[in-house]
Structures are given as structure tokens and as C-alpha cells.
Amino acid sequence: MTTEDLLTFPLALQGDHVPMVSFRQVSKSYGSLTVLDSLDLDVAEGEMVTIIGPSGSGKTTVLRMLMTLETIDGGVIYIDGRPLTHMPKGIGLVAANSRHLRKMRSNIGMCFQHFNLFPHMTALENCMEGPVNVLGLSKKEARERSEQLLAMVGMVDKRHQHPSCLSGGQQQRVAIARALAMRPKVMLFDEVTSALDPEVIGEVTNVIRKLVAEHNLTMLMVTHQMGFAKDISDRVCFFYGGRIEEQGTPEELFGNPKRERTQQFLRAVKEAV
Amino acid sequence: MDLREPIDHRVAGRASLALYLQVRIFSKLGKDHGMSYFEFIAKYGDRILSGTLVSMMLTILAAILAIAIAVAAGLMRMSPNPLVRGIATLYIEIFRGTSLLVQLYWIFFVLPLFGITLEKFTAGFIAVGMNLGAYGSEVVRGAILSVPRGQWEAALALNMSSGKRMLRVILPQALLIMLPPWGNLLIELLKGTALVALIAVADLTFQAKQINATTYLSAQSFGTALIVYYIVARFVITPSMRWLEGYMKRKMGRA
Ligand SMILES: Nc1ncnc2c1ncn2[C@@H]1O[C@H](COP(=O)(O)OP(=O)(O)OP(=O)(O)O)[C@@H](O)[C@H]1O
Ligand SMILES: [Mg+2]
């Protein structure tokens, strides 16, 4: 994208209701494959937005771009009104340098499908790692914060276990506590229950339900569990071919889908169950 | 299941069998020359021992140097900076692509022409260390690359700096992966130290050569050296590396 194109984007978002997350005309392609095509998506503070859609529709890519694990090819992403992927320079925006990325990234936490806990650390050490080594907390403060969060996810008894000694559901709960220990404003969940045995999915979804009920976190979640999405989302976005095909409240989207492709997808999902 | 004990018995058994055979064969050979193997050992044992200690010192110092170089060159090979990458690649190409003996001669005989004169023991372990460091760098790089991508991503999601990601998340896991190949490299390194006898460092090989030159007891001199190298490799280095691996696995809760 040329600097001229970037001039059309504001240096910061202003107004009464600045969204916590804002994608503005964001594009992403791998070679000739366009994964996201000029995506616009706002998520308000405290909102829980669920992304559903067929495989390959770009759901994971949206979260990975927010986590800065993926660069973007066009557009700008704003977090809490400030540009994430770019930084102000003079009158316009330029691509963010690593210092800017580090500053902005502290607002965001992410949980992965395969947990990605550090295998050489215990559950507690996993949670303390960021607070001690990134936020600069004392060991004592970090331990207190981590134990509190591990208690919240029901893992405090196993805090001295290594990930290899924990079940998938337990590992995912520790991973959620680890991300929360950084006190992010935005939490991202990418199919956090997809790698789990059916009988332990509930222990992870219950933790997320609790987060929605008791905290004012802004959350973006990709899931294939339609029932869960229906229960806890403020809004559901149906992705198709790198675009938002349809979005609305869970009642609207699941109860009365307007677009043909949405109806097809929901029918196919229902049949699979 | 704990296999450690039976393995220890087997190792001890093999070691004593090797020693026993050595004594039997050499005493028989020795008698022909009018000296039993016991007499040989009694007479030259202290020289063999001092040579062994020199060889082990060389091995330890060269290993430390090799590990330092391997980590540095391995990391440099993955640098985004092409110049840094190029320097590491050049180093690795030179030291892997040419003979250790010629490298040793270069360091000992040619560097003084450029004003760098090294003592022969120092020249010896530096040559061996630099050579094995080049091989080790590929082991380090391979181990780092085999740490799953998700680990990098999780560390980035915690907003860790690139240095901390490497040091606190990737390297500890890579270490466990690279221990077995390092065991092999250290044995190569031990064997490589024998070449320093050629610049008259009084290591095990040098002592064996000296004893042979004065006594003509070739089978005893070189046979003893052969077996000492084997014992150090097989019964000191290999078990130490196994122990280290087990220790690290236990620390990671994987045992
Ligand atoms: N690193 C990459 N290189 C090339 N193509 C990629 C890469 N990552 C993703 N893609 C492609 O981008 C498209 C979108 O991928 P993405 O992972 O976002 O899909 P998804 O909606 O999360 O699908 P799923 O439900 O299977 O997880 C896919 O066609 C995928 O093959
Ligand atoms: Mg995905």
C-alpha cells in the first residue's frame, strides 16, 4: 500500500464511542490467494464477538493479524482508537516498527487451539512468565496474580504440574490464565475447544462464560460450537471467502439468517451434529 | 519403567570385559617381547595417565569453545541480517569443508606469520573447538528450528522481546532436542584431539607414540591408547550425556 493511500486513514479514532478494536479496509493475501478482502469490523469495549464460517474463510487470519502474528497488506487496525499496525509519523501513518508493536501488543492476549503452553515450565511458571519478564512485576506479585487466576480457572491445585501431566482441558484453562495474567484489554480465542475431548469442552467453555459474566473484557472468539456461540455472544459474524457475509445478534443470525450462504452453512453444521 | 539399573550393569560388564581381554591379549603379546602387560603398565602407566589427563583437558576446553561457537554461529545463521548470516555461513563452510589437521597446522604454524603466536596446547584445543563448533552450529540451528512454531507465537502473544523469546522459551526446549547429537559430536571431538599429538602436545596419542618409539611395543602402546579413548568415549561421555538428558527431562516434567 502506498503512503498516499494511508493518508485517508486517521492518526487516531476520536469521538464518544471509540471501538476497542477496529479493522478498516484490512486486506491480506498469501501470494495470489486473497484471504481477507477489505475487511471492516468494529468491536466495542466489553463486547463478545464470535466469528463463525467455513474452513479457510479467514477466521484465524483475523485473530492472528490482531495479535500481530501476521502482517497486513492493506488497511489499518486500531486498538482503543490508536493504530496497531501503523504508527503516526508527520501527518500520516507509516508501518509500525517493532517498538510500536510491542507497546500496542500489550493490550491483546490470545489463546490458541493447541494451547502452546511452555512445556519446560509448570502451570504456575507459565502464568508468571509474562508478568515477571515482560511487565517487570516482582516474583511475589506475579505469583499472587497467577495463583488468583489459576484459582479462577480451577487449576490452582495443579499449579506445580508441567503441561505434559495435564489433560487438554486443563492445559487450555492454564493457557487462559496465562493470557489473563498480562491484563489485556482484548482477548482472542481461536477454536480453543477444537482439540479437546468432548467431555472436557465444558470446563473450558465455563471459564469463558465466567469471563463474559464477570469481566468487562473485549473478546473475539472463533468457534465451531454454534450452541456456545449462541449462548454467550453479543454479536456473531459469519465469514465467507474473506468477507463478513452476514452479522447480527445470535437471535438474528441463528434464528433468522438472511443470506443464502449463511442458511446453507448453518444447515450443514446442524446436519453434522 | 526404570531401565537405568540394568544398563549400568551392562556398561560395567562391558568395561570389565574390555579390560580383561586387553590384559589377556597383551600379556600374551608382551611375553614374546620379554615384558608382561602388567610390567608394561607398571612402567609406563603414569605416562599413559598423564597423557589421558591432557587429552581430557583438551576435550573439555575444546568442548566449551565448540559449544560457544556453535550457539553463536547457529543463531547468526538465522539472523535476518544477510551480512551476519553470511559471516556464519562462511565460517561453517571453511571449517567443515577443510581438514582438521590442516586447520591445526594453520593455527599453529601460519598464524605466527601474522603475529599471532599460540602455545601448542592452546593452538590444539582452539583448532579442535573451532572445527567442532562449525558442525555443532548446524545441530543448534536444527534444534531451534524444530521447536514448534506455536511456542514462538505464544511467547510473542505474551509480548516477550525477541531476546527473551529465544532465551527463556526456545533455547531451553532446543537444548533437550540437541543433547543426543551433541553426545556424538563430543565423541568426535575427543577423537579429534588425537591430532594435536602432531604438534607435540603431550596428549595420550603423543605418549603412546613416544613409548612405542623407545620400546617398539606397538601393540601395547597403541592398544592401550585405543582402549583408553574407547573407555572415555563410551563410559564417560555417553553416560554423562544420558544423565544430562534424563536430568533435563525430569526438570521439564517429561520423565
Ligand atoms: N501462512 C500461510 N501461507 C499460505 N496460505 C495461508 C497461510 N495461512 C493461512 N493460509 C490460507 O489462508 C486461508 C484462510 O486461512 P485461515 O486459517 O484464516 O482459515 P480459517 O477460517 O481459520 O479456517 P479453519 O476453520 O480451517 O481454521 C486458507 O485458505 C489458508 O489455506
Ligand atoms: Mg482457523
Q: Where are the alpha helices (DSSP H) in chain A?
A: 3-6, 59-66, 98-105, 123-133, 139-152, 168-180, 198-214, 226-232, 250, 260-272
Which residue type sits at A61?
T
**Secondary structure tally for chain B: helices H, strands E:** 11, 0
Is residue A38 domain-shared with residue A94, that is, in the same domain?
A: yes
Is residue A200 domain-shared with residue A172, that is, in the same domain?
A: no
* Cα separation, A258 vs B122, whole angstroms: 80
* Cα separation, A205 vs A154, whole angstroms: 13
* Cα separation, A74 vs A92, whole angstroms: 15
For residue B255, the model assigns a pLDDT of 52
Reported confidence tier of residue B6, pLDDT bands at 50, 70, 90: very low
Is residue A266 domain-shared with residue A155, that is, in the same domain?
A: no
Residue nearest ligand 1's atom 9 by CA: A61
Which residue type sits at B81?
N
Name the minimum distance, in Å, from the CA of B156 to any CA of chain A.
8
Beta bridge partners of B56: none
Number of domains in chain A: 2
For residue A124, the model assigns a pLDDT of 97
Domain-terminating residue out of A165, A183, A201: A183
Reported confidence tier of residue A113, pLDDT bands at 50, 70, 90: very high
DSSP letter assigned to residue A182: T
- The mean pLDDT value for B36-59 works out to 92
Reported confidence tier of residue B1, pLDDT bands at 50, 70, 90: very low
Task: Look over chain A and give the mean of its residue pLDDT values, rounded to a whole number.
Answer: 94
Flag whether B172 is in a domain.
Answer: yes
Beta bridge partners of A29: A34
Q: Do A162 and B254 touch (CB under 8 A)?
A: yes
Is residue A229 domain-shared with residue A253, that is, in the same domain?
A: yes
- The mean pLDDT value for B26-37 works out to 64
Q: Are A82 and A21 in contact (CB under 8 A)?
A: no
The pLDDT tens digits of the residues spanning A211-234 come to 999 888 999 999 999 999 999 999
pLDDT surpasses 60 at B2: no
The pLDDT tens digits of the residues spanning A233-249 come to 999 999 999 999 999 99
Tell me the backbone φ, ψ of residue A156, rounded to 5 degrees: -70, -30
- The mean pLDDT value for A79-98 works out to 93
Q: Which domain holds residue A161?
A: 108-183
The pLDDT tens digits of the residues spanning B197-213 come to 999 899 999 999 999 99
Classify each residue of B110-143 as buried b or exposed e, where b means 16 or more C-beta atoms within 10 Å of its C-beta.
Answer: eeeeeeeeeeebebbbbbbbbbbbbbbbbbbbeb
- The mean pLDDT value for A150-158 works out to 96
> What ipTM score was computed for the predicted complex, to two decimals?
0.93
Q: Do B150 and A114 touch (CB under 8 A)?
A: yes
The pLDDT tens digits of the residues spanning B116-155 come to 999 999 999 999 999 999 999 999 999 999 999 999 999 9
**Secondary structure tally for chain A: helices H, strands E:** 10, 12
Rounded to the nearest whole angstrom, what is the distance from the C-alpha of residue A220 to the centroid of ligand 1?
17
Q: Are A253 and A247 in contact (CB under 8 A)?
A: yes
Pairing of strands A74-79, A82-83: antiparallel
For residue B32, the model assigns a pLDDT of 53
Query: DSSP secondary structure string, B193-223?
Result: GGGGGGGT--SHHHHHHHHHHHH--HHHHHH
For residue A16, the model assigns a pLDDT of 86
Give the percent of chain B with pLDDT over 70: 85
* Cα separation, A61 vs A64, whole angstroms: 5
Pairing of strands A86-89, A21-30: unpaired
Q: Which domain holds residue B139?
A: 44-254
pLDDT surpasses 80 at A150: yes
* Cα separation, A254 vs A227, whole angstroms: 10
For residue A271, the model assigns a pLDDT of 81
* Cα separation, B47 vs B83, whole angstroms: 48
Reported confidence tier of residue B26, pLDDT bands at 50, 70, 90: low
Is residue A98 domain-shared with residue A172, that is, in the same domain?
A: no
H or E element, residue B116: none
Phi-psi region of A47 (alpha: psi -120 to 50; beta: other; left: phi over 0): beta
Flag whether B101 is in a domain.
Answer: yes
Interface test with A, best of B149, B156, B159, B254 (most A CBs within 10 A): B159
Burial class (CB in 10 A: 0-12, 13-18, 19+), B101: middle
- The mean pLDDT value for A66-72 works out to 96
Q: Do B253 and A122 touch (CB under 8 A)?
A: yes
Q: How many CA atoms lie within 13 A of A64 on its CB side?
A: 16
DSSP letter assigned to residue A2: -
Is residue A155 domain-shared with residue A198, that is, in the same domain?
A: no
The pLDDT tens digits of the residues spanning B213-253 come to 998 898 899 999 999 999 999 999 999 999 999 998 887 76
For residue B21, the model assigns a pLDDT of 67
pTM for the structure as a whole: 0.85
For residue A71, the model assigns a pLDDT of 94
pLDDT surpasses 90 at A103: yes
Which 3 state secondary structure label does DSSP give A196?
coil
Reported confidence tier of residue B4, pLDDT bands at 50, 70, 90: very low
Tell me the backbone φ, ψ of residue A94, rounded to 5 degrees: -125, 165
Furthest CA-CA distance within chain A: 56
The CATH number linked to A202 is: 3.40.50.300
Interface test with B, best of A105, A120, A129 (most B CBs within 10 A): A120
The pLDDT tens digits of the residues spanning A20-57 come to 999 999 999 999 999 999 999 999 999 999 999 999 99
How many CB atoms lie under 10 A from the CB of residue B97? 8
Cell 531401565, located at residue:
B3
Rounded to the nearest whole angstrom, what is the distance from the C-alpha of residue A240 to the centroid of ligand 2?
13
Angle (deg, nearest 10), helices B4-32 and B218-232? 170
H or E element, residue A1: none
Question: What contacts A267, CB < 8 A, 6 or more positions away?
Answer: none
Flag whether B94 is in a domain.
Answer: yes
CA distances from A157 to A121, A143, A161, B148 (A): 16, 14, 9, 28
Separation of CA B165 from chain center: 29
For residue A51, the model assigns a pLDDT of 97
Is residue A178 domain-shared with residue A208, that is, in the same domain?
A: no
* Cα separation, A120 vs A107, whole angstroms: 26
Q: Are A25 and A38 in contact (CB under 8 A)?
A: yes
Residue A93 grid coordinates: 501513518
- The mean pLDDT value for A172-201 works out to 96
Tell me the backbone φ, ψ of residue A30, rounded to 5 degrees: -110, 105
Residues 141-160 of B with CB under 8 A from A: 148, 150-151, 153-160
Pocket of ligand 1 from Cβ distances under 6 Å: A 30, 33, 35, 53, 55-61
The CATH number linked to B250 is: 1.10.3720.10
Is residue A178 domain-shared with residue A113, that is, in the same domain?
A: yes
Flag whether B35 is in a domain.
Answer: no
Flag whether B12 is in a domain.
Answer: no
**Residue count (chain A):** 273
Separation of CA A241 from chain center: 20
The pLDDT tens digits of the residues spanning B48-97 come to 999 999 999 999 999 999 999 999 999 999 999 999 999 999 999 999 99
Is residue A94 domain-shared with residue A7, that is, in the same domain?
A: yes
Which 3 state secondary structure label does DSSP give A53?
coil
Which 3 state secondary structure label does DSSP give B245?
helix
Closest CA to A152 of A177, A127, A122, A115: A177
End-to-end Cα, chain B, rounded Å: 10
Residues 7-66 of B with CB under 8 A from A: none
Number of domains in chain B: 1
Mutate-to-test residue for ligand 1 from A23, A28, A39, A59, highest number of ligand atoms within 8 A of CB: A59
Is residue A37 domain-shared with residue A51, that is, in the same domain?
A: yes
Q: Are B134 and B91 in contact (CB under 8 A)?
A: yes
How many CB atoms lie under 10 A from the CB of residue A266? 16
